[in-house]
Structure 1
């Protein structure tokens, strides 16, 4: 990372680091959810739907992990330059993606009963 700019308040740097670690934790949780969805017995959900949900969760997991460090770096650069924090462009994708998986899983759970 470039060191251009001023050293930001350590509290901001540490908050940025906690956010980075939270993205990694979120990635791990999404991955675990995808693996769990893939392990659901065949008679609970339609197999292709179960697989699709698992794939979406694991893809979201990979995206969260892959974007964690670049996001940390962009925010750290903005802090050093005392510039506005860049918006999180992928927030809608994560929010709507996880919501869609949750709603579809809920529908399938209700229909399976």
Structure 2
């Protein structure tokens, strides 16, 4: 798996050359995952550097760390998904299934709900 990430020739040896539109669409999807990961990393850095200290201890630091780790995870997952999809396209197989988008969406929604509770608590105690 890891070798395929850094050796595009290994992926090209699988199956046959597909219509380039499919490979380019797969690449655009990977770039969307990469942008999402970068946005999460940027959000983590913004939280760590610019969010004022909250009354609840370590919330700011925990939020920054979660965003940074999630951003890194999204980029690696996007790379792995790109390789798996490219191989499936070249072999004429169905694209691989993934629960990761649903897990990411639920995680972001849960984080947003937690932040709403923190804002409310901060507002009530301030």
- Secondary structure of 2:30's aligned partner: helix
8 Å CA contact retained: 1:57, 1:98:
no
User: Are 2:86 and 1:64 aligned?
Assistant: no
**Cα 1:74/1:61, change in 2 over 3 Å:** same
Q: How many equivalent pairs are there?
A: 112
The whole-number CA distance in structure 1 between the counterparts of 2:55 and 2:20 is: 49
1:47-86 to 2 correspondences below 5 Å:
47-86=57-96
TM-score when normalising by structure 2: 0.79
User: Unpaired runs of 5+ in structure 1?
Assistant: none
8 Å CA contact retained: 1:4, 1:81:
yes
Deviation at 1:72, TM superposition (A): 0.6
User: Unpaired runs of 5+ in structure 2?
Assistant: 1-9
8 Å CA contact retained: 1:34, 1:57:
yes
Point out the structure with max Rg over C-alpha.
Answer: 2
User: Are 2:107 and 1:104 aligned?
Assistant: no
Instruction: Tell me which of the two structures has the higher relative contact order, counting C-alpha pairs closer than 8 angstroms and 6 or more residues apart.
Output: 1
Deviation at 1:51, TM superposition (A): 1.6
The whole-number CA distance in structure 1 between the counterparts of 2:112 and 2:35 is: 19
Aligned mate of 1:19, from 25, 29, 38: 29
TM-score when normalising by structure 1: 0.88
